[in-house]
Amino acid sequence: MLTIDVAVLLAVIAFFRLRRRTQARSRNEEMTTALTILALGVLLAPTPVGQWILDVLRQLTTGISEAGR
């Protein structure tokens, strides 16, 4: 599936961009990284992996909100 291949490529790009030191980044580099992460999320969301991540986060937030009561 092409979506997974592009998502994997964006994940690799995001990994290497986020490894750099924060102090050395310009605003342009930060914006590019943010857009890369956003594109990765858009590509990953409709896949089974994205749905699994959503379910895990939903269960986590439900557990946290119920623990606070």
Residue 22's pLDDT is 66
Tracing tokens 């909100």 back to the chain, one arrives at 65
> What whole-number distance in Å separates Cα of residue 36 and Cα of residue 49?
18
pLDDT digits (tens, 9 = 90+) for 37-65: 888 888 778 888 888 888 888 888 888 88
pLDDT digits (tens, 9 = 90+) for 11-30: 888 888 888 776 767 888 88
Annotated domain spans of the chain: 2-67
